[in-house]
Amino acid sequence: MATTLFGMFRGARQDDPLASVKAITAWAAGLPANDPLGALEAVVRLLEDASAAQPAATLSRVQALQALDRLTLPIQAEILAQHRLPSLSEDVRRRLWHAANDLARWLAYAYEQAGGVAPAREGERKPPQLAAPGIFSRLFYYRGLQARLGLLHYESWIPGNWKILHSAYREACAQGVATQPFAPGGPAEPGDGCSAEQEYLQILLLQRVNSGNLTANQLEWAGQWLRTWARMLKLSEPPAEGDGYWLDSGRGEGLLAKRPGEPEGELLYLDVRPLHEQVGTLIALLREQVAQSAGHPVQRTHEEQLALARRLDQLWRPQAQPRARRGERRAEKRPVVVAAGWTAMIAAMRTAGAHRQHEPHRYTYDDATSLAVRGYVRSVERDQFGNVIERALNRHGWQLQDTSDSGARILSATRVAQQQQVGALLALQPDGETRWRLCIVRRLRRRTSENTELGVEIIAQNAMMTMVTPLATRASGYSVNGIDTASGNPGFHALYLPPQQYTHGTPVHSLVLPASEFAPGRRLWVRADGAPREIRLFVLLEQGTDWVWTSFEVQDAAKPA
C-alpha cells in the first residue's frame, strides 16, 4: 500500500493515479478523447477524491501532479475557447465556466499543499527543493486563472483571498524560488515559462482593471498582453517616493496607488514604467494596423484592441484621473420592469400600457416570457416576536437606483441579472410608465453573491416595436393584414429608436434588428414616426450576438401599396 500525495491509502498501481508519473499517464489515457468537458470534470473528481487526508508530499507525487497539469493544458485551452463562443446557451456557458474554475481551484489547492502554503497537520514535511520552482509558479498560475474567470463574472476578491495569495508569495521568497522561471512543458519551451513572481504580478495587475466595463474578449486580450509584459516587471524594496504601485503583504488588498502610512506587513514597490512603455509600443502598432486594414473586416477588431490599449494605459496608472460621467445622476429608487435579450423584449413590448407591481404576468409560454423578468416587491411578514422576516423570497425583482439623461443604475438578485455581460441589450420600463427605454449594459459589478449592479447606457428614451418588411416582398399585391406574403417572407420585428434629445449634431434615426436580417445598404419598408417609409440601412453602430443597432436613411415616405 502507498500513501498518495493527499493521504488516500490506496494501491499505488491500481487505485492511486497520483502515485507516480507512470500511474497518472496510464489513468489519463482512459479519458474520453472527444469530450473535453467530460475529461475535465473527471480530473476534478480525481483531485476531489484525493484531497481528504492531505499528507506530506513526496517527489514522485509532485512530479505526478505536474504531469497531470501538463496533460490537461490542451483540454483547458479547448474549454476556454468554447466558453468564449458567442452562440452558446447560458446553461452550457455556465457549465464550461464551472468546469474550468473547479479545475483551477483544485490544482491550485494541490500545489498549495505540496508547497506547504496551506495549513498543514503536525508532522508534515515540505516538498523537496528540487520541485519548488514548479510548485509555486503553477500555484500562482492557477490562482491567476481563477482570477481571470472571476473577472468574466465581474467578481471582486475578498480580503481573505488576498492574504492567502500574499502568504504564498512570502513562502516562495523564503524558499528562494520566487524569481526562478518554470515552463510546464519542460526545457523545450523556455519562452512559455514564468516565475512565481511574474504570475503573481499578473494577478495583481489584472485586478486593477476590474472596473466592470470590459467585455470577455477585452479581458482575454488584456491577459494575453500582460503575460508577455509581466516578464519585464519585478517587485523591489520601496523607495522614499515613486509613481508606481505599493504592496502591503499584510493587508487583504492588492496593489495600492498610495504608500500606506502604517504598513501591516512587508512593504514592496512595483515600478510600472516598463509596463507603460510596452503599452505605448502596442498603441503605435495598433494604429498602423487600423490604417492598413481600412475597409477590411479585421479593422473592427483592431479598433477595439486600440481602444482597449488606451483604456489599459489609464487603468494601470496609479494617479490616473477619473473618467467624467456621461450625465448628472438623479436618485430615483423605484421598481423597474426589465426585459433582457431580443426574444424577451419583443414579447414584453407587445403589451401596451404600464406594468403595475400587483398585476400578474400576462404573457404565454409561447412568448418566451421566462426571459422577461418582472419586478415585484418582496413579501414581508412578522414573526411572533414582531421581527420582520422575508417569506418566499422573490428573485424576480429589479430596482432602479438612479438615472441620468444618458444612463441608469439598476440592482437585482435575479438569475437573469447574474447572466448579463457588458454589451448586452436590455429594455427598461420604470414602474408606472408606459414607454420602454432601450439600454446597453456598460458596467457590471457583483455586490454580493446574489446582488448584481448594472450600469446601462440609454440609447433610446422611447423605443417602439415595429414590423419591418423587405422591399422586394412588396410588389406582388398579396397581403394579409397589410403585410405582403407572396414571397414567404412577411417581415420581422424590429425596434425603432427616435433620435435622442440630449445628443448634439444632426438627429440620427436608427433601428435595432435581428442580427440575421442586417446587411449594409439593404432596403426595407418600415413605419417610423407614424408614417410608412422606405429606408436604406446605413452605418452599423453596435452589435450583439442576436441583434444589430444600425442607422438608416429615408428613401421614400410615400404610402404603401
CATH number at residue 433: 2.40.10
Query: Is 371 inside any structural domain?
Result: yes
Residues 448 and 358 in one domain: yes
Q: How far apart are CA 509 and CA 522, in angstroms?
A: 16
- CA-based R_g, the chain, Å: 28
| Domain boundary pick from 171, 202, 228 | 228
- Give pLDDT, residue 210: 86
Query: Is 344 inside any structural domain?
Result: yes
Residues 368 and 222 in one domain: no
Query: What is the amino acid identity at position 532?
Result: P
Residues 348 and 485 in one domain: no
Q: What is the pLDDT of residues 136-173, one digit of tens each?
A: 999 999 999 999 998 888 887 888 889 999 999 998 99
Query: Is 308 inside any structural domain?
Result: no
pLDDT above 70: percentage of residues in the chain: 76
Upper half-sphere CA count for residue 282 (Cβ side, 13 Å): 25
Top-confidence residue, 550 or 241: 550
Q: How far apart are CA 86 and CA 547, in angstroms?
A: 12
Residues of the domain holding 220: 2-228
| Domain boundary pick from 459, 479, 507 | 459
CA dihedral for 19, 21, 23, 24, sign (positive or negative): positive
Q: What is the pLDDT of residues 48-63, one digit of tens each?
A: 887 765 656 678 888 8
pLDDT band (50, 70, 90) for residue 356:
very low
Q: How far apart are CA 165 and CA 147, in angstroms?
A: 11
Neighbours of 506 (CB within 10 A): 6
Residues 99 and 113 in one domain: yes
Residue 263 has pLDDT above 50, yes or no: yes
Q: What is the rounded average pLDDT of the residues 101-128? A: 73
Q: How far apart are CA 340 and CA 224, in angstroms?
A: 31
Q: What is the pLDDT of residues 431-477, one digit of tens each?
A: 888 889 999 998 888 776 678 889 999 888 888 888 888 876 444 44
Residue 373 has pLDDT above 60, yes or no: no
Q: How far apart are CA 440 and CA 458, in angstroms?
A: 7
Non-local (6+) Cβ contacts of 386 within 8 A are none
Residues 394 and 418 in one domain: yes
Residue 534 has pLDDT above 70, yes or no: yes
Residues 360 and 441 in one domain: yes
Query: Is 477 inside any structural domain?
Result: yes
Residues 444 and 529 in one domain: no
Q: How far apart are CA 286 and CA 458, in angstroms?
A: 30
Residues 361 and 471 in one domain: no
Query: Is 299 inside any structural domain?
Result: no
| Domain boundary pick from 432, 459, 486 | 459
Query: Is 271 inside any structural domain?
Result: no
pLDDT band (50, 70, 90) for residue 87:
confident
Q: What angle do CA 203, 205, 209 make, to 5 degrees?
A: 110
CB 102 within 8 A of CB 64: no
- Give pLDDT, residue 118: 61
Residues 543 and 471 in one domain: yes
Q: What angle do CA 156, 398, 329 make, to 5 degrees?
A: 75
Query: Is 358 inside any structural domain?
Result: yes
Q: What is the rounded average pLDDT of the residues 335-350? A: 83
Q: What is the pLDDT of residues 387-434, one digit of tens each?
A: 333 333 333 588 888 888 788 999 888 888 888 888 889 999 888 888
Residues 50 and 140 in one domain: yes
Q: What is the rounded average pLDDT of the residues 288-292? A: 91
Residues 455 and 490 in one domain: no
- Give pLDDT, residue 138: 92
Residue 122 has pLDDT above 80, yes or no: no
* Residue with grid cell 509558479, as numbered in its chain: 137
Instruction: Tally the domains of the chain.
Output: 3
What nine digits make up the cell of 153? 463574472
Query: Is 282 inside any structural domain?
Result: no
DSSP string, 519-540: -TT-EEEEEETTEEEEEEEEEE
- Give pLDDT, residue 502: 42
CA 182 to chain centre: 29
Residues 93 and 134 in one domain: yes
pLDDT above 90: percentage of residues in the chain: 27
Q: Name the average pLDDT for the chain.
A: 78
What nine digits make up the cell of 474? 412588396
pLDDT band (50, 70, 90) for residue 245:
very high
CB 209 within 8 A of CB 312: yes
- Give pLDDT, residue 327: 61
499: nearest Cα among 459, 465, 534? 459
- Give pLDDT, residue 98: 92
The percent helix, strand, coil of the chain (3-state, each to 5) is: 40, 25, 40
